[in-house]
C-alpha cells in the first residue's frame, strides 16, 4: 500500500474544539454555573486570575474561570490576551493603602498597636476538616456578628518603625515608573519593574522561591510587619479637569515584611522592607512576593547574591506563568524536523563510535 | 473575506504595529542584532509563534498572500491555526504554494523552492539568543555581542570535534551574519542554513516570549560557524522521497510498522506536491 501523507489538521482542530466545548459544560443534567456564582463562591479563584491576569475586573475573571474549566493559569492567559487589546487612557495616582477601608489587618511584630489586630475573613485558625455539611446544599450561614466601625486610624507598622529611624527609607521618586507590558525587561531592572513583574507573577513559583529564602537559600530573616486587606480608592487626574477624581474602588492585599539589616559602611544597622501588593484577597501571594522582593534587593544592599531568589534574571524571567506555560507546552507541537536531524546526527555519531571501538 | 469585527486589521492596533515596524527597521539596519520590542500578549500561547505572528501582523497588508508552514508542512495543526487566525483577523488571501506567497511565516524550516526578491520569510523563534546554553544571563550575552566576543561558542564547537569527531549540533546551528553578529537561525535543521546565505528574500525573526526581533536583509552573507579543517556539512537522511523521489530535499522519517519498516518523505509538502504534479504531467505527455 502506498504511503499517503497525513492530512486533516483543519478538521481535527474543529472537532477537538467541539469536544472541548462539550466537556467544559459537563453533564447537561447538572445546572450550569453562572458567572455570579463563580464570582461570589469561587472568589479567591477570581482574585488570583485578576492578579496573574493583571486586569481588575471580577466579571471578566469569572468568565475566564468558567471558559477555562477552572484552570486558573489558562484563565489568567485569557484575561491577559483580552487586556492587551484595551486602549490606555491614563495612569491612576498611586493608591494609598494607608487609607484603606480595612477588612483584615494583622501584625506579627507587635502584640497590639493603634487600630488593633483585625482577623477578617481568614482560613487561619480553621481546622482543616472537610465540612460534610457543605456537601448538602442548605441555608446560607447566619450573618457574621458585626461591631460598629471604629474611627481609629490604622497607621502602617513600617511607619511606626520609621518614626524611630529604624526602617530604612525607600528611594522616593516622582518619575513615571517603567511598564513591562510595553517595554521588555532590561537588566538590572529597577525596583518598580521588579514589583510589577512579581505582582503578576505565578503564585506557586513565588511561594516556592519565598520558601527557599526561609530555608537558607538567600539568608532572609523576615517578620510580618503587617498584612492588610481591604478596599482602596483609585484616583485619576483627567487632563481636562486638572484635579483628581475617584473612579472606583479595588480590593488589594498588602504585605510588608521587616528584615534585619546589619548595616554597611554608609548605612547604620536598621530594618529593611520587603513589599508585596496584589489584587483581591491574595495573602499567600502577597507574603511570598514580599519575601522575594526583599531578596532581590541584595545588590542594592551590598549583600552577596548566592541563591536563586536573589538573582533578578532567574526570578523575573521565570515568574510569569503565561510565558512559562506557553513555552513548556509548546514542546507538544511537532518537532519532526529537528528530531529527524537529531536522528541523523546520533546515527552518524554512533557509526563513528562503533568504528573506533572495532579498530 | 473581511477582517473580524471588533478588532483592528490583523489584530494588533496601529500604534503597536508602528512600534514593531520601528524595531524591524532597526533590525534590518543591523543584520543579526537582536532588538528588544514591547511584545504583546497574543490570543495564542507564548512559544507557539507569538513573535512570528506579531511580525506578520505588523507587515501584512490587504493585498498580501500569506503562507504558513510548520515543519515544512502547510497542514500541521499549528500552521493551520495561525493561517486561520490571519484569515479571520485580516481577511487576507492564503496559499499553500511557496511561489504565490508574498509573506511566508515558518516554524523550523525554509522552503525548498528558492525564494525571490520581494518575498518575506518570517521565522518563529523560541530562543533568540544563540549563546543561551553557554551563558544563560542575558545581561552577559548582551555584552558578549557588543564586543563580538564569541570565543565561548568556538570553544564549544571545538570541544564537540574533540569529543565526537564532528560538531554535534544538528538544528538551530549558529550562524555569523554579515561577518559581525552571531545569530540563532531558529530551530531549522542545519541542512537549511545554506539557504539563508545571500537569500534574495527578506528574512525576519520574531521571538514573542523573549521579546526580541532580528533580521537578515536580502543578499546578506550568512555563514554557518565551522573550522577550516572541519568545514560545515549540512546533513539529511541518505534516501529519496517515497512520494516524489527527490534526493535533494529535506526528508521526514515515517515509521510504517512496528518491525523496523520506515520510509522517507519530503518535509516540504508544497515542494513535494509540485514535483508529483510535474511528474504526472510528464507521464501524460
Which tens digit of pLDDT belongs to each residue from B226-278?
999 999 999 889 999 999 999 999 999 988 888 888 899 999 999 999 999 99
Query: Of A20, A52, A73, A341, which to mutate for an interface test with B (greatest number of B Cβ within 10 Å)?
Result: A341
Question: What does the pLDDT read at residue A7?
Answer: 61
Q: B272 catalytic, yes or no? A: yes
The set of residues, in sequence order, having a beta carbon less than 8 Å from that of B206 and lying 6+ positions away, is B50, B51, B52, B53, B54, B55, B56, B122, B123, B124, B125, B213
Q: Three-class SS of residue B214? A: strand
CATH class (in words) of the domain with range B14-126+183-223: alpha beta
Burial letters for A274-311: b for 16+ Cβ neighbours within 10 Å, e otherwise?
Answer: bbbbbbbbbbbbbbbbbbbbbbbbbeeeebeeebbbbb
Chain B positions in Cβ-Cβ contact with residue A335 (cut-off 8 Å): 71, 108, 187
Q: Give the residues of chain B that fall short of pLDDT 70.
A: 1-5
Is the model's pLDDT at A262 over the cut of 80?
no
Which tens digit of pLDDT belongs to each residue from A306-352?
999 999 999 999 999 999 999 999 999 888 889 999 999 899 888 88
Do B273 and B242 meet the contact criterion of CB atoms below 8 Å apart?
no
The answer to whether the CB atoms of B189 and A188 lie below 8 A apart is no
Pairing of strands B202-207, B120-124: parallel
Q: Which one is predicted more confidently, B154 or A115? A: B154
The pLDDT confidence band at residue A2, using thresholds 50, 70 and 90, is low
For residue B140, what is its C-alpha cell? 552577559
Out of B80, B189, B263, the one facing A10 most closely (by C-beta) is B80
Out of B209, B235, B254, the one facing A344 most closely (by C-beta) is B235
Is the model's pLDDT at A255 over the cut of 60?
yes
DSSP code of residue B72: T
Mean pLDDT of chain A: 91
Q: B244 catalytic, yes or no? A: yes
Domain boundaries, given as residue ranges, for chain B: 14-126+183-223, 236-285
| pTM of model > 0.80 | yes
Do B65 and B54 meet the contact criterion of CB atoms below 8 Å apart?
no
ipTM of the complex: 0.81
Chain B positions in Cβ-Cβ contact with residue A3 (cut-off 8 Å): 242-243, 254, 256, 263, 265
Distance CA B24, CA B37 (A): 9
Which tens digit of pLDDT belongs to each residue from A141-153?
899 988 877 777 8
Q: Three-class SS of residue B201? A: coil
* Residues A229-248, mean pLDDT to the nearest whole number: 94
Out of A81, A185, A334, the one facing B42 most closely (by C-beta) is A81
Burial letters for A336-352: b for 16+ Cβ neighbours within 10 Å, e otherwise?
Answer: bbbbbbbebbeebbeee
Tell me how far the alpha carbon of residue A74 is from its chain's centroid: 14
Chain B positions in Cβ-Cβ contact with residue A310 (cut-off 8 Å): none
What's the gap in Å between the CA of B269 and the closest CA on chain A? 9
The answer to whether the CB atoms of B172 and A338 lie below 8 A apart is yes
Q: Which of B49, B72, B206, B244 is catalytic?
A: B244
Amino acid at each position: 500500500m502506498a504511503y499517503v501523507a497525513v492530512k486533516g489538521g483543519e478538521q481535527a482542530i474543529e472537532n477537538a474544539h467541539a469536544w472541548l466545548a462539550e466537556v467544559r459544560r459537563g453533564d447537561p443534567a447538572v445546572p450550569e454555573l453562572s458567572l455570579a456564582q463563580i464570582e461570589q463562591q469561587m472568589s479567591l479563584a477570581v482574585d488570583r486570575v485578576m492578579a496573574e491576569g493583571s486586569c481588575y475586573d471580577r466579571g471578566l475573571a469569572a468568565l475566564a474561570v468558567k471558559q477555562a474549566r477552572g484552570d486558573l493559569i489558562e484563565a489568567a492567559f485569557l484575561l491577559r490576551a483580552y487586556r492587551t487589546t484595551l486602549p490606555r487612557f491614563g495612569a491612576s495616582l498611586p493608591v494609598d493603602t494607608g487609607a484603606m477601608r480595612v477588612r483584615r489587618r494583622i501584625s506579627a511584630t507587635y502584640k497590639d498597636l493603634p487600630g488593633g489586630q483585625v482577623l477578617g475573613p481568614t482560613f487561619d485558625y480553621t481546622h482543616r476538616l472537610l465540612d460534610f455539611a457543605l456537601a448538602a446544599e442548605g441555608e446560607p450561614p447566619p450573618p457574621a456578628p458585626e461591631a460598629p466601625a471604629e474611627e481609629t486610624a490604622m497607621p502602617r507598622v513600617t511607619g511606626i518603625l520609621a518614626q524611630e529611624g529604624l526602617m530604612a527609607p525607600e528611594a522616593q521618586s516622582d518619575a513615571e515608573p517603567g511598564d513591562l507590558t510595553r517595554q521588555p525587561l532590561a537588566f538590572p531592572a529597577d525596583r518598580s519593574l521588579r514589583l510589577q513583574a512579581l505582582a503578576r507573577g505565578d503564585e506557586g513559583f513565588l511561594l516556592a522561591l519565598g520558601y527557599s529564602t526561609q530555608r537558607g537559600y538567600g539568608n532572609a530573616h523576615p517578620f510580618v510587619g503587617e498584612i492588610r486587606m481591604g478596599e482602596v480608592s483609585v484616583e485619576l487626574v483627567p487632563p481636562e479637569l486638572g484635579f483628581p477624581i475617584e473612579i472606583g474602588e479595588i480590593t488589594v492585599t498588602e504585605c510588608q515584611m521587616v528584615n534585619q539589616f546589619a548595616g554597611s559602611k554608609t548605612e547604620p544597622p536598621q530594618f529593611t522592607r520587603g513589599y508585596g501588593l496584589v489584587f483581591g484577597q491574595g495573602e499567600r501571594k502577597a507574603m511570598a512576593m514580599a519575601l522575594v522582593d526583599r531578596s532581590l534587593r541584595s545588590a542594592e544592599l551590598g549583600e552577596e547574591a548566592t541563591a536563586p531568589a536573589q538573582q533578578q534574571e532567574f526570578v523575573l524571567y521565570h515568574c510569569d506563568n503565561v510565558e512559562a506555560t506557553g513555552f513548556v507546552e509548546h514542546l507538544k507541537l511537532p518537532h519532526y524536523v529537528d528530531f529527524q536531524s537529531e536522528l541523523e546526527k546520533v546515527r552518524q555519531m554512533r557509526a563513528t563510535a562503533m568504528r573506533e571501538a572495532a579498530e | 473575506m473581511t477582517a473580524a469585527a471588533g478588532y483592528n486589521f490583523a489584530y494588533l492596533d496601529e500604534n503597536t504595529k508602528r512600534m514593531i515596524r520601528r524595531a524591524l527597521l532597526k533590525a534590518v539596519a543591523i543584520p543579526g542584532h537582536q532588538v528588544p520590542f514591547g511584545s504583546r500578549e497574543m490570543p495564542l500561547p507564548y512559544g507557539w509563534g507569538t513573535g512570528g505572528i506579531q511580525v506578520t501582523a505588523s507587515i501584512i497588508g490587504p493585498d498580501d498572500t500569506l503562507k504558513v508552514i510548520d515543519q515544512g508542512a502547510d497542514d500541521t495543526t499549528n500552521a493551520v491555526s495561525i493561517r486561520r487566525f490571519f484569515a479571520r483577523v485580516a481577511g487576507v488571501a492564503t496559499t499553500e504554494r511557496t511561489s504565490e506567497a508574498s509573506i511566508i511565516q515558518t516554524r523550523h524550516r525554509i522552503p525548498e523552492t528558492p525564494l525571490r526578491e520581494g518575498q518575506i520569510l518570517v521565522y518563529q523563534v523560541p530562543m533568540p539568543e544563540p549563546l543561551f546554553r553557554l551563558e544563560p544571563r542575558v545581561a552577559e550575552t548582551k555584552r558578549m555581542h557588543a564586543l563580538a566576543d564569541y570565543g565561548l561558542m568556538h570553544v564549544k564547537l571545538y570541544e564537540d570535534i574533540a569529543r565526537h569527531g564532528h560538531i554535534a549540533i544538528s538544528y538551530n546551528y549558529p550562524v555569523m551574519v554579515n561577518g559581525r553578529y552571531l545569530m540563532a537561525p531558529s530551530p531549522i535543521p542545519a541542512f537549511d542554513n545554506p539557504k539563508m546565505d545571500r537569500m534574495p528574500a527578506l528574512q525576519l525573526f520574531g521571538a514573542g516570549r523573549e521579546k526580541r526581533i532580528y533580521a537578515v536583509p536580502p543578499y546578506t552573507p550568512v555563514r554557518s560557524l565551522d573550522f577550516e579543517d572541519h568545514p560545515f556539512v549540512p546533513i539529511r537522511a541518505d534516501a529519496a522521497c517515497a512520494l516524489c523521489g527527490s534526493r535533494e530535499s529535506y526528508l521526514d522519517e515515517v515509521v510504517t510498522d512496528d518491525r523496523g519498516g520506515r520510509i522517507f518523505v519530503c518535509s516540504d509538502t508544497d515542494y513535494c506536491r509540485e514535483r508529483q504534479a510535474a511528474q504526472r504531467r510528464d507521464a501524460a505527455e
